Amino acid sequence: NIPALNGIYRYHELIGPVLPLDAAVFLGEGHTPVVEANARLQKKAGIRFYFKNDGQNPSASFKDRGMASALSYIRYLLQQGYVSDVLAVCASTGDTSAAAALYASFLHPDVKSAVLLPHKRVTPQQLSQPLGSGAMVFEVPGVFDDCMKIVEHLSEHYNVALLNSKNAWRILGQESYSYEIAQGFEYDMAGKAVVAPVGNAGNITAIMSGFLKFHDLGIIEDLPRIVGVQSEHANPVYKYYLEPDPEKRCFEPVQVKPSVAQAAMIGNPVSMPRVIRLVAEYNRRAGQQKVFVEEVTEQQIMDWQLRANRNGHVVCTHGGECLAGLVAAKKSGKIAADETAILDSTAHALKFADFQQMYFDNNFPPEYGIIPRDELVNAPELVC
C-alpha cells in the first residue's frame, strides 16, 4: 500500500512545501467517483451535470482530504523530533471533527484530539464519529462560530495543533478535489462549472486555489466557473457579493438560523479574507467574472436532495443545496444552459438522515420553514 500512488498523494508534489512520502497518512481518501446525474434529474434541472461523490471518503465527507495532509505534516514533525505528544483541536459542525478524530486516532498515542461541537447542532451520526475514534468531545452552548472563537483562543495561547481550515495544510490536501476534476475531464475545463456549498469557506478556497495551481502550471488552459451556494439561513458570503462594486463591499457576519445544510451553518467564515483575495485573483486570471455565489431556501435544499435520492444519488442536504444552487444559478444566468456542471456532493446522505426523517414524518420545527411536498412523500413512482 504505497501512499504515493493513491488518492490525494497522486499529487504529492503539489501538496508541498515538504511532504516526505514516508510521513504520508493514507486512509483511502480522495480519488472519489464522478457520476453523471440520472437523465430525468438532468432534465428537471435543465442542464447537464455530474456529482463528485466526496461522501465516499473514509469518514464520509470531503474533509478527509485535508485531514490526510494536515496529519501527514504532523507525522513528519513527529518523525523529525520537532514535536511530541500533539494535541490536535478543531471546532466543527460535525464533519471536520469526524475526520480530525479519525486521522488523529491513526497516529495515537503520539497525537490526541479534542473537538468542539455546537450543542444539538450536529447529527447523532456525526457525534458518534469522534467518540468512536476516541477524541475528547466537547459540546459547546451556541453555534459553530462560538466554538471557533474558543479554538482560535486555544491555538493562540496554548501549544495545540489547530485542524480547522486556517491550517494551510488542510487546504493543500483539499485542493486535490480540483485536480481530480481536471484529470477526470481530461484537463478540458472550458464550459465547466463547479458548484460547492459554502460554510466556513475552506472548501471554495481550496477549489479555487487548486484550479489556479493547475492553470499556473499550464495543465489546464481554461479556469472553470465556480459557484458557491449558501442557504438563506446562513448567507454571509452571498450577502457580501451582492454589492457589485468591489470598492463598496463590506463583510458583515450574520446571525445564523437553523438550517438543514447544518454543516454549513456558519455566520462568520474563518476563510473569508482568503476568499476575497482568491475570488479577485481568479476573476482577474480568467479575464472575466467566473466566481459567483448563489442563495437558496431551506425548502429548495430539502426538495432537491430528495429528488436526487429518488434518482439514484446518495447526496446529503449539502448535495441538495448544490443542486438547488445549480438550478438557481441557471435561472439567474450565472450558469449558461449549455455548460456542464460538477456538483460537490460533500458528505454521505446517512450523516444527515435525521432531516430526511423529519421531512417524511412532517415534523420539521417551524423555524426551518419546510413543508413536505406531496409528490416527494406520497407518490414514489412520480420521480422528480
203 binds ligand F0G (CB under 6 A): yes
Contact stretch for ligand F0G (CB under 6 A) within 80-88, 196-204, 246-254, 334-342: 196-204
In the complex with ligand F0G, which residue's Cβ is closer, 3 or 178?
178
* Subset of residues 227 to 256 that bind ligand F0G, contact rule: CB under 6 A: none
x/- site string to ligand F0G, residues 58 to 87, per CB under 6 A? ---x-x------------------------
Give the nearest distance from C-beta 228 to ligand F0G in angstroms: 8
Q: CA distances (Å), 190 to each of 46, 291, 330, in order?
A: 19, 14, 17
In the complex with ligand F0G, which residue's Cβ is closer, 23 or 226?
226
State the helix-helix crossing angle for 298-310 and 353-361, rounded to 10 degrees: 100
* Residue of 53, 92, 123, 133 interacting with ligand F0G (CB under 6 A): 92
259 binds ligand F0G (CB under 6 A): no
Distance of CA 16 to the CA centre of its chain: 21
Give the nearest distance from C-beta 23 to ligand F0G in angstroms: 25
Bridge pairing between strands 192-197 and 225-231: parallel
Strands (E), 206-258: 225-231
* Residue of 264, 291, 326, 327 interacting with ligand F0G (CB under 6 A): 264
* Residue of 41, 226, 227, 263 interacting with ligand F0G (CB under 6 A): 263
In angstroms, the CA 232 to CA 265 distance is 10
23 binds ligand F0G (CB under 6 A): no
Give the nearest distance from C-beta 136 to ligand F0G in angstroms: 16
Three-state SS annotation for 258-309: CCCCHHHCCCCCCCHHHHHHHHHHHHHHHCCCCEEEEEECHHHHHHHHHHHH
Number of residues binding to ligand F0G, judged by CB under 6 A: 20
x/- site string to ligand F0G, residues 342 to 361, per CB under 6 A? ----xx--------------
200 binds ligand F0G (CB under 6 A): yes
Contacts of the segment 31-37: beta carbons below 8 A, 24+ positions apart: 31/6, 31/7, 31/180, 32/56, 32/57, 32/180, 34/180, 34/181, 34/184, 34/342, 35/313, 37/308, 37/311, 37/313, 37/343
In the complex with ligand F0G, which residue's Cβ is closer, 47 or 195?
195
120, three cell numbers: 444539538
* Residue of 8, 101, 143, 198 interacting with ligand F0G (CB under 6 A): 198
Q: What is the dihedral of CA 327, 364, 130, 312, to 10 degrees?
A: -40
Judged by phi (left if over 0) then psi (alpha if -120 to 50, else beta), residue 139 lies in: beta
Give the nearest distance from C-beta 52 to ligand F0G in angstroms: 13
Q: Is 48 helix (H, G, I), strand (E, B) or coil?
A: strand
In angstroms, the CA 121 to CA 259 distance is 10
In the complex with ligand F0G, which residue's Cβ is closer, 99 or 223?
99
Q: Which residues pair with 192 in a beta bridge?
A: 340
x/- site string to ligand F0G, residues 151 to 190, per CB under 6 A? --------------x-------------------------
Residues that bind ligand F0G (CB under 6 A): 61, 63, 92-96, 165, 197-203, 263-264, 318, 346-347
